[in-house]
Chain A
Amino acid sequence: MTTSLSPRTLGIDATSSAPGPIPFSRLVRVEWSKATDTRAARWLLALLALSTAGMMLVPVLVPTSFDQTYASYLEVASIGQVILLPVVAILMFTGEWSQRSVMTTFTQEPRRIRVLNAKLAVSLLLGGGAAVFGGVVTGAGLGLAAASGRALEANLTVGAITGYLLYLLLNVLGGVAFGALLQNSAVAIAAYFTLNPAVALLGTVSTLVADWIDTATTWNWVLENDWAGHVPQISFSIVFWVAVPLAAGVVRTIRRDVG
């Protein structure tokens, strides 16, 4: 501590007019920084990218087990992403409670709903970014497959792309909702990854659960762009896994005493 300790200008200006509210774009940029500027966050995002690329090797190297189509390759790309993207989203909403830096964040912007909205926007941006990355990796994987002289169906449809994008975003939103509601990293991650298989297990004995709540069924319809006749089931799944826990999480975040 060799620097001079004597304070100089402290910048007190009692006459300055009160500045306006924090623009939402600034909140989003700050939340983006927080989500990407730590070593832990970068490892997680690197792992997400690596797993997406790594999964892509499977249909390239084991062609007999996979349809050699764009849609099929995109599904493979999504396998690792729908495990890690919800974790990224959960940590976005729980990390500051665990580190207790909510104390700083909510004194910087006491309208907590705006902070939540900014985190939600960043989560969706990361999900969208992951979708673009997955699309590029898929293209590269198909390129490799084609180079090996394989017969491909390069049938890239708008439906396949939007289905893949929406599927990733739904998984992001599931993580967002659990993180916002439970506000504890370990609890939210554990709950997310035990409740989903538990529902899937229930689905084996009840078609009602399987068709309406099990995301392995309902959100897969989204991934496969198979909306016909499934809109009510998909909608109910979104209400169950996203809308209700997210709404409860918003209320809980706004009301919670920061101790």
Chain B
Amino acid sequence: MITTTALTKSYKKVPVVRDVSLRCEPGTITGFLGGNGAGKSTTMKMIVGLVRPDRGTATIDGRPFVELPNPTRVVGTLLDASAMHPGRSGRATLTIAARMAGVHTRRVEHLLDLVGLADAAEKRVGTYSLGMRQRLGIAQALIGEPSALILDEPANGLDPEGIAWMRTLLRDFADHGGTVLLSSHLLHEVQATADHLVVISDGAVVTAGRLDDLLASSTILVRSPDPVALAAALQVARIDYVAGPGDALTVDVSGGRITTEVLASVARDHQVLLTELRQSETNGLEQLFFSLTAAKAATPQEAAA
């Protein structure tokens, strides 16, 4: 179980993480989704005591990480696969981790096999590709037989086969009662791996919940030959909408109050002709995520213009 309460951190008065509260249950994989610089890594580093929060707390199995007597036996971490000594071999790196955890060095060979690095074990980490370093990092995270994993962008640098392998591994870990918190800036990656989701933007959680719930279609697309009249009708009925795609309008129905029937009634009452009325194909989560990341991506361009 990984829990955080109102974690908050600023660097030089610029807020990086704001009131982030998470709860990762045993047996689940929680995806921590956000664009670059959204505050995912800083949050994870606060959970494992590498960064001191300005406010808030984080616990693993009810205890702050820094109070765990031998943390790698409880929670495995992979925060930055490039932060390994390049002059040490993969096997030596894992052997150090095994000795710190106090597990038998037999486990080093087992994990080298598991992550597919047995043939490269004697090579120096400096010669590894990013994907190989990710595999070594995953092995290092697993070395102490932990019951929880905290992984920052573990799919980075992995080839498609490696990504599929990692998904299977994490699912297996969770199915055996493990707790997984993994971050990603790619929605489809999280969708394919996680069963719980926390979306973070500008340091704050914008939405969280079960993936299935969040993925349930939550918008309706309405199209009329006279979009101006349609928009006016929706405004009168106090129904929020956004323009697009094309000349259609998209209505957020996540509250459950608005259905296709409600919209059809509004159109009839205002004598607006509808040519299309259906559940949107793109789900609300995707729209939310794209609007968040698009807004972030647009900012520097506007600044440059």
Which A residues lie at the B interface, using CB under 8 A?
A: 1-8, 10-14, 16, 18-22, 26-27, 29-30, 33-34, 37-41, 95-96, 99-101, 103-104, 106-111, 255, 257-259
Check if A110 sits within 8 Å of B68, measured CB to CB: yes
B260 to chain A minimum Cβ distance, whole angstroms, is: 45
Check if A104 sits within 8 Å of B49, measured CB to CB: no
Is B270 interfacial (CB-CB < 8 Å)?
no
A24→B86 CA distance, assembly (Å): 26
Check if A258 sits within 8 Å of B102, measured CB to CB: no
Check if A107 sits within 8 Å of B72, measured CB to CB: yes
Check if A107 sits within 8 Å of B77, measured CB to CB: yes
Check if B176 sits within 8 Å of A10, measured CB to CB: yes
Is B147 interfacial (CB-CB < 8 Å)?
yes
Contacts of B79 in A (CB 8 A): 103, 107
Check if A259 sits within 8 Å of B45, measured CB to CB: yes
Count residues on chain B whose CB falls below 8 Å from chain A CBs: 56
Question: Which segment of B161-169, B244-252, B291-299 sits at the interface?
Answer: B161-169
Pick the contact of A38: B73, B85, B107, B118 (CB < 8 A): B85
Bitwise, B89-126 to A at CB < 8 A (1) or not (0) is 00010001101111000010000011011110000100
Pick the contact of B114: A2, A7, A12, A18 (CB < 8 A): A7
Is B173 interfacial (CB-CB < 8 Å)?
yes
Q: A18-B69, A37-B92 given as contacts; is B114 within 8 A of A106 (CB)? A: no
Smallest Cβ-Cβ distance to B49: which chain A residue: A110
B81 to chain A minimum Cβ distance, whole angstroms, is: 10
8 smallest A-B Cβ distances: which pairs? A100-B83, A38-B87, A11-B145, A258-B50, A21-B69, A110-B66, A5-B165, A108-B100
A-B contacts besides A10-B172, A18-B70, A257-B50, 7 pairs, CB < 8 Å: A10-B176, A11-B142, A18-B69, A19-B70, A22-B102, A37-B88, A107-B77
